[in-house]
Structure 1
Amino acid sequence: MARVRDLWMTPNPNGKGKIRTARYGTGKRWLAVWNEAGREVSRTFTTRDAAEAAIAKVRTDQDSGTYIAKANRDITLREVWPIWWATKAGKSKSTRAGYEAAWKHIDAKWGGTACAQITRSGVAAWLPILTTTRGCKEGESKPVGEATQRKVGIVLGALLQTAVDERIIPASPMRKGDIPRQKVSERRYLSVAELDRLRDAAPGRHERLVVDVLTRTGVRPGESWGFQVGDLAALRGRLRVMRDIDQSGVVDETKTRRHRDVPVGGDLLLDLENATEGRARGEWLLTTASGEQWTAARWRNVWSTMVEKAGLGELDTYELRHTAASLAIHSGANVKTVQRMLGHASAAMTLDIYGHLWDDELDALPAAMDAHMKAERTRFTERRRKAEAEQGRNTG
């Protein structure tokens, strides 16, 4: 049962008033005691009013389900991190690296803070002012990008939810809408003429083959560099996406940790077959002219030279994946086919990113509906004509 005790004064054994205790004048005077999961816990206060207010709050929080056990009040977010991190063991190296980068921001601000002390307003005030020193001169910093800000918000929200799951706090202070939204980036889709200029700007067939693979299959750059000779099934016209080469040139799982087949045919298939001739299954399929494995560092200089020569301005290699999606859609591919080719988790994700590219089908829809309705009217009229003719013969 909850109660307040006076630590400085105690009832006189003789029954007359109160007498001082051994700790009179030392420490806080008032002790609030309450029951927590079948055991007594306590906390000292300077005044009786504060002790009684604390007990009143305990009762209210216990009744509403928002009570935080005394043993959990000092557990910090840094102590929750290993619990959450262990659940991400199955993610790809690049994904985990992204989580670790986000945690560095979080740890610097909230790592040593008790989960119970993290507030919604505090998080809302902090996220928009995140900065980084990456790419800056010594002593300088700059605001992080929208993607980083969003990633940090997602990881922080996940950590707080883990604290809820572990019964450290009763509820997360963050809400779904608190995570910053990332503005939709402007995607560039190369025209066939621009793509031809880019191919012509390639220094040789090895670089041109990389461009062709990216724009005809829609694989991510790291996935294309991870193709091995044995991944090509020439008779089926398929390339098997099995692995990714990360920014450091290390073999990694694909982003989704799923394998998929992408279609290849025509001249591209012939070029790939030529590239595999006389080579072992475990060798890299796409290589530099000197036979080295492609990495982000090796590709970067080659790519910038090609783009400049082709007069395409600022262009990221990843835009070739968007171009592949555009080419597939305008060639008549449905959303499910594009989803499978790109390796998206769902058709909904594909529509979110590329749905506007199906606008041509929307433009054709009115005419198609008119044609369908006209055909139905013609069919109905013909059916009625035949029925009337049949009826005339039966009564004639």
Structure 2
Amino acid sequence: MGTVEPYEASSGRRYRVRYRKPDRSQTTKRGFKTKRDADQFLATVEVSKLRGDWLDPTRSRVTIGEMAREWLASQLQLKQTTLSGYRHSLEKHVLPRWGKVRLADVAHGDVQAWVNALTKTLAPSTVRQILLALSGVLKYSIRDGRLLSNASDDIRLPRIKRERRGYLDHDQAFELARACGGYEDVILFLAYTGLRWGEMAALRVNCIDLPRRRVEVREAVAETRGQLVWGTPKSHERRSVPFPDFLVKPLQARSGGKQGEDLVFTTHEGAVLRGGNFRNRKFDPALKAVQAMEPDFPKITPHDLRHTAASLAVSAGANVKAVQRMLGHASAAMTLDVYADLFDDDLDAVAAALDLGAAANVVKMWSNDAA
């Protein structure tokens, strides 16, 4: 058991508590104004030691900034693009507010007030990403034995409003492709395979199987703070994706005279296709030109061509599992969650099929009743 002892300080009598840590080393906490306060502190120490959840107070005196560096260095499982996003959130939003704050001084209410302030100027998805970075640092601190609880848990976040997704039909996909002169095949490839931009831009000649009409998605490239970062596809999963027969000739033309490791889709100068540049210089002007002639033409981005691919596949009769494999989703449940609106017609089909199956019995039943 520990002991409580009085001592004289410049401000009057104070009390100190001497107690042993779980490793049997002795430590002291000073500054209690009353013996009762000291006794209560000692009691909580002994109870927490019995529970096995005692923490050395000195270990929670480090700052969020110090722990953020350790946390980032430990994230070996993350892709460079994801890691860069966390680093950006920390440097721009988390550390300016919390960098010099000690772990022990982070309070739930203060975190909520900070999130409320962020919500006034930032999009809901951005606020969530920023909080995720702070939460990661605090969770790491808990695992490192510096905290008992995470002050960022159960923070109320702004709702993310889902915009109505734009889908192109076949005619619209070809119309947009024609407007992107010189890159028609890029638009159609994205709209009919569902590859992400980075997967398309990283596609190599030896990943195309023309006889089987398949492409193997095994690599992706992303632009992070102006730098190209090469890595595996999202979720690190390779997949085989089918493409329609009309894309064979464009792919042959793109691959002609190239080596197996050469990129299929490049700029006219042979450089990597960067999504931001392509959108500003080709895609957005083409979309604007099409919309000038057709005001009802969907407002989309290059990434939305992936949604078009899902829509065209479903309308062609693909089931949710096939769409999942095509898009590289982690599960069919995820595909259903993202594209629930595309499968609404399936409910009508189910009702029609049930009606057809029961038709003979229904006729017999009503006939007997009439008799």
Return the TM-score normalized by structure 2: 0.86
**Residues 1:298 and 2:285 aligned together:** no
Partners of 1:338 and 1:176 lie apart in 2 by 34
Of 288, 305, 313, 1:308 maps to: 288
Aligned residues: 353
Aligned equivalent of 1:47? 33
Aligned 8 A contact 1:92 1:257 in 2: no
Secondary structure of the equivalent of 2:30?
strand
Secondary structure of the equivalent of 1:148?
helix
Structure ID, larger Rg: 1
**Residues 1:170 and 2:148 aligned together:** yes
Question: Which residue type is aligned with residue 315 of structure 1?
Answer: I
**Residues 1:122 and 2:107 aligned together:** no
**Residues 1:107 and 2:86 aligned together:** no
Question: Which residue type is aligned with residue 187 of structure 1?
Answer: R
Partners of 2:336 and 2:70 lie apart in 1 by 35
Partners of 1:330 and 1:314 lie apart in 2 by 20
Instruction: Show the 5 A alignment for 1:1-396.
Output: 1-8=1-8, 25=10, 29-37=14-22, 38-45=24-31, 47-49=33-35, 50-59=37-46, 61-62=48-49, 67-104=54-91, 105-130=93-118, 143-176=121-154, 178=156, 180-204=158-182, 207-247=183-223, 248=226, 250-253=228-231, 254-300=233-279, 301-311=281-291, 312=297, 314-374=299-359
Q: How many Å apart are 1:178 and its aligned residue?
A: 4.3
More off after superposition, 34-43 vs 368-377: 368-377
Secondary structure of the equivalent of 1:250?
strand
Q: Which runs of 5+ in 1 are unaligned?
A: 9-23, 132-141, 380-396
Question: Which residue type is aligned with residue 332 of structure 1?
Answer: G
Aligned 8 A contact 2:166 2:298 in 1: no
Deviations along 1:189-211, one digit per CA (max 9) or x if unpaired, are: 1233322321221212xx10100
More off after superposition, 304-313 vs 369-378: 369-378
Partners of 1:252 and 1:180 lie apart in 2 by 33
Q: How many Å apart are 1:375 and its aligned residue?
A: 5.7
More off after superposition, 324-333 vs 25-34: 25-34
Measured on the aligned residues, the alpha-carbon RMSD in Å equals 2.7
Q: How many Å apart are 1:362 and its aligned residue?
A: 0.5
Question: Which residue type is aligned with residue 39 of structure 1?
Answer: S
More off after superposition, 264-273 vs 349-358: 264-273
Partners of 1:128 and 1:297 lie apart in 2 by 31
Aligned equivalent of 2:369? none
Partners of 1:4 and 1:177 lie apart in 2 by 39
Partners of 2:85 and 2:42 lie apart in 1 by 44
Aligned 8 A contact 1:237 1:263 in 2: yes
Question: Which residue type is aligned with residue 96 of structure 1?
Answer: L
Q: Which runs of 5+ in 2 are unaligned?
A: 292-296, 365-371
Aligned 8 A contact 1:201 1:310 in 2: yes
Question: Which residue type is aligned with residue 279 of structure 1?
Answer: K
Aligned 8 A contact 1:150 1:181 in 2: no
Deviations along 1:266-318, one digit per CA (max 9) or x if unpaired, are: 11123212321222112221123343331124312111211111114743111
Return the TM-score normalized by structure 1: 0.81
Question: Which residue type is aligned with residue 334 of structure 2?
Answer: M
Q: How many Å apart are 1:371 and its aligned residue?
A: 1.3
Check 1:179–1:41 CA distance in 2 against 1; reply closer, same or farther (3 A cut): farther
Q: How many Å apart are 1:172 and its aligned residue?
A: 1.8
Question: Which residue type is aligned with residue 99 of structure 1?
Answer: Y
Deviations along 1:324-363, one digit per CA (max 9) or x if unpaired, are: 1111111111111111111111211111110221011111
Partners of 2:60 and 2:267 lie apart in 1 by 57
Question: Which residue type is aligned with residue 250 of structure 1?
Answer: L
More off after superposition, 251-260 vs 267-276: 251-260
Partners of 2:12 and 2:85 lie apart in 1 by 48
Aligned 8 A contact 1:260 1:340 in 2: yes
Check 1:80–1:340 CA distance in 2 against 1; reply closer, same or farther (3 A cut): same
